[in-house]
Amino acid sequence: MSSSRAAASMEGKLVSNFWSGKTVVVTGAAQGQGAEEVCTLVEPGAHVIALDIHDAQSESWSAVRSRCADDAARLTIRRLDVSDEDAWAALVTELGASGIAVHGLINNAGITLRKTVTETSAAEWRHVMSINLDGAFLGTHFVSRVMSRNGAIVNVASVTGLTAYFGAAYSASKWGLRGLTRAAALELANRHIRVNCICPGMVETPMMLNANAQHDERRARLFQEGNRQATPLSRGAHPGEIAKVAVFLLGPDASFITAADVPVDGGMTGGGIFWRIGKMTENL
């Protein structure tokens, strides 16, 4: 074997073993995209601290427990309200006392609200912000204290943080998350901690598929179909397709990527308006 091939083979083995012994914190981890991120990390050897508003014994965790059954020793499930500063402080104190150095954090927890500016109440605005933006701020603020050198943080924003969207609070929270990402990336660079943001388009998760309380089933279907029509690949993503990008950004192959917004949207934002105009006229 040539020296170059031998080096490449060794590098591949190092990357494949990268997650063994690494600890990653994931929020919003009980279901949907967060659950997929947990399982994608546990499988190659990471220890995942999975956080969610649902109690650890809740049925909401059943799919995660089932998928990670063979690696249950590397899965820690814990109830945590991401908007609760004291809960974050307690978690980090516990991690520090145990000597656990965290490699990664995925700020995935989020809620949606499909209401315009004038439809949204002040209480609804604050509630969305408390989870989508405050939660990521608190997670970054506290977990970075016990994060190892060369660690990484991934914030899960949305295409609604890249363009106009009628859902005022949700959109504003995701635009804000991009700003938080860049501010944290600048501050933590001297510790070689990278901070990036992924911006998914439509993802086939319960949050997308379940209509909000103020929307009937027909409107929900129209919303989903509108998203598909606005996506050049003409479909929503499977949660695993988003999870793999998040894990990539936490890992060694993304070692020179920080302060970046990464659309994972089937071409929705990159295609802009003109691909739809072309599609409308292609058969004329």
- Residues that are catalytic: 170
Structure token digits, residue 30: 């009980």
Structure token digits, residue 38: 């947990």
Coil, strand or helix at 151: strand
What does the DSSP assignment read for 79-126?
Answer: E--TT-HHHHHHHHHHHHHHTPPEEEEEE---------TTT--HHHHH
| β-sheet bridge partners, residue 23 | 47
The whole-angstrom separation of Cα 60 and Cα 71 is 19
Helix (H) or strand (E) holding 140: helix 134-143
Contacts of 187 by beta carbon, 8 Å cutoff, 6+ apart: none
